[in-house]
Amino acid sequence: MSIAEGEFSAQRAKIEKDLADGKTYVEIAPEDRARVRQSLERMAATLEGVASVDELSQPQKVALFNEQEVVNTILTQAAEDSRLICERRRETGSHRATTTCETVAERRRRREDDQRRLQTMQRAVMPDRNN
C-alpha cells in the first residue's frame, strides 16, 4: 500500500470540506464529527514524514487501518442518513400534488415519533383489564 503523506492530506482536505459544506453529511452527529476529526488527526500524525505505509511498523499499520475504519464507518452512515428522498403527494381533499423532501434520518425520526405517539394514545384509550 503506498499512501504518501500528500495523498492523505488531499483526502483529509476533501473530508473536511464535505463536513463543513452543510450538505454532504448534514445528518452527522456532533460527537461523530468530532470522532472523525480526531481519527484524521491521529492518521496524519502516524503518516507524518512517511513516504509510504510500507515504512510503518506492523502495529502502526494496524492502528492506521483501525482509524481509517472508524472514519469510513461514520461517514458511510452519515452519508446514507443525509440522503434526500422526495415524494409527490396529494393532500387529503386536494387535487394538487406537492413535493416533499426529507433526509433518510428525518424520515426515520418522524416514523419513530409517530409510533411513539400511537403507542401512547393506545395506552391511554385501552382500559386496564385488571380492574
22 conformational bin, left if phi > 0, alpha if psi -120 to 50, beta if neither: left
Q: Under a CB-based contact definition with an 8 Å cutoff, are residues 43 and 67 in contact?
A: yes
pLDDT in the model for residue 5: 60
Where are the domains positioned within the chain? 5-82, 85-125
The strand pairing partners of 101, in sequence order, are 86
Quick: pLDDT tens for 24-55: 898 899 999 999 999 999 999 999 888 888 89
Could you list the mean pLDDT of each consecutive 10-residue stretch along the chain, which spans 131 residues?
68 93 89 96 91 90 94 93 89 87 90 91 73 55
pLDDT of residue 4: 59
Question: CA nearest 99: which of 84, 111, 86?
Answer: 86
pLDDT of residue 125: 74
3-state secondary structure 31-78: HHHHHHHHHHHHHHHHHCCCCCHHHCCHHHHHHHHHHHHHHHHHHHHH
- Please state the pTM of the whole predicted model: 0.71
- Alpha-carbon distance of 65 to 4, in angstroms, equals 15
